[in-house]
Copies of this chain bind each other. A is one copy, B any other.
Amino acid sequence: MKKLTARQQQFLDFIREYIDKHSFPPSIREIQGHFDLRSTKGVKDHIDRLVACGYLKRVDGAARALEVVGSRYKGDDRVPLVGTVAAGLPILADENIEDYLPVPSGPPRTRGMFYLRVSGDSMVGAAILEGDLVLVRPQPFVEQGEIAVVRIGDEATVKRFFKFSDRIELHSENPKYDPIVCRRGDEEIRVIGRVAAVFRELE
């Protein structure tokens, strides 16, 4: 990513601040006004360069169709909160979306990710408590021992996932609960995704 000149940085900063304040991007003439320019051309030049360098994206011709690259200022680092784990399916249906929440620490890819509220105390050993939100990255397989959201029959739960040649084991992180062992022919288990993060509000 090419280095920006001081001036270019000023333009980018202004666009960011404007979006922060208004929640939509500025028009070219508004930028022009902010920098006290007599022509829109200068602004256009800067925007074109910021786009060329990858700091901005835009839709040509459309009004205020600017997007600051770098996720922090993009809308789609929000993911839906789709329901409660172990609350039965379908957990991924659109109608189940309770809210849209942002993801702290803009992760590399939020695409497709979603939050799920945890019920039960089976993962306290992993510092995941009842009521916590887990951020789920959907994927069909997880690494040995990773914390996953899995579907068992009609229910979704959070467990530590182990796969062996002849069976799958789902371990709770709570001595109160025994591992769930699943062999061929048993009720079907499907991995929904990996738990990428945990969020908890206190009180």
List the interface of chain A (C-beta within 8 A of B).
16, 19-25, 27, 59, 62-68, 72-78, 81, 99-107, 115, 124, 127-129, 133, 146-147, 194-203
Shortest Cβ distance from residue A2 to the other chain B in the assembled complex, whole angstroms: 20
Chain B residues closer than 8 Å to A62, beta-carbon distance: 27, 64
Are the C-beta atoms of B104 and A133 separated by less than 8 Å?
Answer: yes
CB nearest neighbor in B for A143: B203
A103 nearest CB across to chain B (Å): 7
In whole angstroms, how far apart are the Cα atoms of A66 and B63 in the complex?
12
- Shortest Cβ gap from A97 to chain B (Å): 9
From B23, B27, B100, give the contact of A20 (CB < 8 A). B100
> Do the beta carbons of A201 and B75 come within 8 Å of each other?
no
Interface centre among A78, A105, A146, A200, by most chain B C-beta atoms within 10 angstroms, is: A200
The answer on a CB contact under 8 Å between A76 and B21 is yes
Please judge, given known A-B contacts A20-B76, A129-B127, whether A105 and B101 are in contact too, CB under 8 Å. yes
Q: Is A65 a contact of B67 with CB atoms below 8 Å?
A: no
Closest to A63 in B: B63
- Expressed in whole angstroms, the minimum distance between the Cβ of A29 and any Cβ of chain B is 11
